[in-house]
């Protein structure tokens, strides 16, 4: 029996993290954890409560009162907040524009990281985000930093918006660049490639190809660990 490992996938918006992470988890029969969805859920609730996005005390208190549960869904992951399925509400332009401010708050980050570490305790988790390899799971057996050019990332996201995007491609590219900047420049657990993370540039590469590469790395690492344990 192969050992179970944890896999951390970090990178900027639109790099393909969630799509690839979900496929890797499926192929290895692991659990996929979308940490971005957790920050989005806190952002949704903070907006609903009319809180200011830089009010660490109030948003921290709100976050403590939220019971966030992630469930594997048919396509995307389901996010329950205090029993309510908020998944369809998390990927709006409004939340895109606010989430990186919420993600700067010390108390919110600490609570999310604690929750994420508990989810990964039993191993066999594929977790994607910004600070997984550097901060949440520094001991993950496999770390991947996934990137693509800003134009490619914006184009991918633009395609998802369908016939009524409500924004131009150039505007979307600027908004993604601004979110990346906030994520990279924040003081706590910024978006950063861990020294021991394997770099994948997915520009021009298919999702299947990238997922397969990560699965093979994961299997090789799990086999090595199993052999060492014998």
Binding site for ligand CDP (CB under 6 A): 11, 13-19, 35-37, 39-40, 99-100, 103, 129-132, 156-157, 160, 179, 183, 202, 205-207, 210
**Known binder of ligand: residue 19?**
yes
- Element housing 90 (H / E): none
Neighbour count for residue 71 (Cβ, 10 Å):
10
The H-or-E segment that residue 198 falls in is strand 198-201
Q: How far is the CB of 219 from ligand CDP (least distance, A)?
A: 20
Q: Is 11 marked as binding a ligand?
A: yes
**Shortest spacing between CB 48 and ligand CDP, in angstroms:** 17
Smallest distance, ligand CDP to C-beta of residue 44, A: 12
Between 201 and 224, name the residue whose CB sits nearer to ligand CDP. 201
129, β-bridge pairs: 10
- For residues 107 and 60, is the Cβ–Cβ distance under 8 A? yes
> Which C-beta is closer to ligand CDP: that of 131 or that of 173?
131
Q: Which is nearer to ligand CDP, 70 or 222 (CB)?
A: 70
Q: Shortest Cβ distance from residue 223 to ligand CDP (Å)?
A: 26
Closer residue to ligand CDP, CB minimum distance, 90 or 222: 90
Query: Per the annotation, where are the binding residues for ATP?
Result: 11-19
């Amino acid at each position: 029996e192969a050992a179970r490992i944890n896999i951390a996938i970090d990178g900027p918006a639109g790099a393909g993290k969630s799509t690839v992470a979900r496929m890797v988890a499926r192929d290895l029969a692991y659990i996929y954890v979308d940490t971005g969805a957790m920050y989005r859920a806190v952002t949704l609730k903070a907006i609903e409560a009319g809180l200011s996005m830089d009010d660490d005390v109030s948003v921290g208190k709100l976050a403590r009162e939220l019971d966030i549960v992630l469930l594997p869904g048919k396509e995307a992951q389901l996010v329950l907040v205090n029993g309510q399925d908020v998944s369809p509400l998390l990927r709006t332009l409004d939340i895109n524009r606010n989430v990186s401010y919420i993600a700067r708050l010390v108390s919110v980050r600490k609570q999310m990281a604690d929750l994420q570490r508990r989810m990964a305790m039993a191993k066999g988790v594929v977790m994607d985000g910004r600070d997984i390899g550097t901060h949440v799971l520094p001991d993950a057996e496999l770390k991947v930093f996934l990137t693509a050019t800003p134009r490619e990332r914006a184009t991918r996201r633009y395609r998802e918006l369908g016939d009524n995007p409500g924004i131009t491609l150039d505007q979307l590219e600027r908004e993604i660049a601004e979110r990346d900047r906030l994520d990279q420049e924040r003081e706590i657990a910024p978006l950063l490639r861990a020294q021991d993370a394997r770099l994948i540039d997915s520009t021009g590469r298919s999702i299947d190809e990238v997922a397969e590469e990560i699965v093979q790395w994961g299997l090789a690492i799990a086999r090595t660990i199993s052999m060492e344990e014998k």
